[in-house]
Amino acid sequence: MAEAKTKQKKTPQILRGMKDILPEDERYWSYISKKVADMAHTYGYGRIETPHLEPTSLFVRSIGKDTDVVEKEMYTFDDRGGESISLRPEGTASIVRAYIEHGMLNRPQPVKVYYFGPFFRYDRPQSGRYRQFNQFGFEVLGEAHPVIDAQLMMICYNFFQEIGLPISLQVNSIGSPDTREEYQKALVDYYKSRKNSLCEDCKKRMTKNPMRLLDCKEQDCQLLAQDAPQIIDFLDEESNQHFVQVLEHLDSLEIPYTLNSRLVRGLDYYSGTVFEFWPEPFTAPDTGEEEKKEEAENDKEDNDNAKPGSQSSLGGGGRYDYLVEMMGGPETPAIGFACGVERLIKEIKNRDIKVPKRHDPDIFVAQLGDQARKKCLKLFEEMRRQGFNVAESFSKDGLKSQMEQANKRRVKFTVIIGQKEIMDGTILIRDMENGIQETVDFNKLLPEMKKRLEKYGVKEINGKNNNHNQEN
């Protein structure tokens, strides 16, 4: 009995494949989401957000029932009303649903949208692969011109370039559905006599989804894929013409790319141009303890699936010219791209790419005694309302610990109220650079601070610069 009483309760643990995003990573997330929004607005994309839950049939119809995503990776369950619903594993299917449902086909075409949010795949967790992960994506619906394909690739290329991430753009065309039918027959013919050398998954793919044979990561399968027929030789005239024009546009934009005849992407709805962005190979000198621990744990759990050196794409996309029609809408050519945010951040960190920090506060509000604390609490709110960038540590009593915080936050000034200042109706201003302290009338504090900060080039008071900064 006594033993049972002292037995420790097990603390709750995060689900496998899920990840908490902690405050220390905030700057990566805000940097990327701002960059995505800026890029999107420059090129005329409007934000769209669709629900995280959709009817299962939406994904089965669009992504395809024989794809890995639908067959093995979807979080699918019956809701309380008995309807089969799924957590969204990708973004395009929902956007096509929304495009049809909201009559966006009647708006001026093309309709350009972008999104940023979580997606869910019951994938085998390993480094850079989670069961809940975030993607941002761009979609252009209602335009078939090859210039759209090239411009979308350029937007993504510029995005990575501006971050400072070396990537390689892989491009291919998988043609029209007719092209693929013919090509798949040729593939199956090629693999028939080589079936014994294929992995178990690929043996199944031969009947279910032959094009996936080409991007299997198993070494033997990769070797066989090298000599397999190439889809480029099967393209119909229209697909070929389109692809040639896309490449011409990329050439004139001077965007380097690699023609990759084995790039097929995993989902049924793709047609014509497909592309991926791969990070250039990089060996991190030291990934840090936490990262190592995470990787070691994942490797331990997933020994069979950890393939060092296997290519992990940062993002990819392609045309889906038949999807709107397949989903019940009119003939509507379209193209899209999605990028994985966790993978992007991992690359940024591995390569030690600097991202801007959140703006440091300018002023720390310090207090000594209960009366002073009350007064400072109000003062802080007033300053924040007026647009000052302020920090505080109101739960602390001693001045020493508050000054430590002020130093840590690298403020330019600390304003201090103690017993004496309460009695006199004054406040102390300490210049943190030279340590000089000056007493001013409490009512004159705000204009005085404005004046002092202007000397530092802080011009946005009473304007936008009003971040609330708490102790950390």
Peptide bond before residue 447 is cis, with ω within 30 degrees of 0: no
Among 61, 97, 112, 129, binds ligand AMP (CB under 6 A): 129
Q: Which stretch binds ligand AMP (CB under 6 A): 21-29, 125-133, 248-256, 438-446?
A: 125-133
Instruction: Identify which of residues 208 and 396 has a Cβ nearer to ligand AMP in the complex.
Output: 208
Size of the site for ligand AMP (CB under 6 A): 16
Q: How far is the CB of 90 from ligand AMP (least distance, A)?
A: 5
Among 130, 138, 159, 275, binds ligand AMP (CB under 6 A): 130
Distances (CA, A) of 16 to 85, 126, 132, 377, 455: 22, 10, 10, 42, 52
**By the rule CB under 6 A, 316 interacts with ligand AMP:** yes
Q: How far is the CB of 315 from ligand AMP (least distance, A)?
A: 5
Nearest one of 405, 293, 292, 320 to 92, comparing CA atoms? 320
State which residue has the least CB distance to ligand AMP.
340
Q: How many Å apart are CA 383 and CA 389, to the nearest integer?
A: 8
Among 146, 315, 329, 361, binds ligand AMP (CB under 6 A): 315
Q: How far is the CB of 226 from ligand AMP (least distance, A)?
A: 22
Where are the alpha helices (H) located in 267-398, listed in sequence order?
289-301, 323-326, 341-350, 370-385
Q: How far is the CB of 112 from ligand AMP (least distance, A)?
A: 19
Encoded one letter per residue, x for contact with ligand AMP by CB under 6 A and - for no contact, window 275-294 reads --------------------
Instruction: Identify which of residues 314 and 461 has a Cβ nearer to ligand AMP in the complex.
Output: 314
Q: How many Å apart are CA 265 and CA 162, to the nearest integer?
A: 26
Q: How far is the CB of 169 from ligand AMP (least distance, A)?
A: 13
Q: What is the DSSP string of 92-160?
A: HHHHHHHHHHTTGGGSSSSEEEEEEEEEE--PPPBTTB-SEEEEEEEEEES---HHHHHHHHHHHHHHH
Eight-state DSSP code of residue 225:
H
Instruction: Identify which of residues 212 and 430 has a Cβ nearer to ligand AMP in the complex.
Output: 212
Q: Which stretch binds ligand AMP (CB under 6 A): 123-131, 170-178, 228-236, 358-366?
A: 123-131
Residue for token digits 């201090």?
416
Instruction: Identify which of residues 176 and 313 has a Cβ nearer to ligand AMP in the complex.
Output: 313
Q: How many Å apart are CA 464 and CA 466, to the nearest integer?
A: 6
**By the rule CB under 6 A, 50 interacts with ligand AMP:** no
What residues contact residue 413 under an 8 Å CB cut-off, 6+ apart? 362, 363, 364, 429, 430, 431, 432, 449, 452, 453
**By the rule CB under 6 A, 138 interacts with ligand AMP:** no
Instruction: Identify which of residues 346 and 409 has a Cβ nearer to ligand AMP in the complex.
Output: 346
Q: Which stretch binds ligand AMP (CB under 6 A): 196-204, 339-347, 370-378, 434-442?
A: 339-347
Q: How many Å apart are CA 196 and CA 295, to the nearest integer?
A: 33
**By the rule CB under 6 A, 64 interacts with ligand AMP:** no
Q: How far is the CB of 342 from ligand AMP (least distance, A)?
A: 5
CA 82 to chain centre: 33
Burial class (CB in 10 A: 0-12, 13-18, 19+), 167: buried
Encoded one letter per residue, x for contact with ligand AMP by CB under 6 A and - for no contact, window 65-104 reads -------------------------x--------------
Instruction: Identify which of residues 146 and 279 has a Cβ nearer to ligand AMP in the complex.
Output: 279
Instruction: Identify which of residues 213 and 314 has a Cβ nearer to ligand AMP in the complex.
Output: 314
8 A C-beta contact, residue 409 and residue 394: no
Q: What is the DSSP string of 386-438?
A: TT--EEE-TT---HHHHHHHHHHTT-SEEEEE-HHHHHHTEEEEEETTT--EE
Encoded one letter per residue, x for contact with ligand AMP by CB under 6 A and - for no contact, window 146-175 reads ------------------------------
List beta partners, residue 363. Answer: 390, 413
* Contacts to ligand AMP by CB under 6 A: 90, 121, 123, 129-130, 133, 135, 313-316, 338-340, 342-343
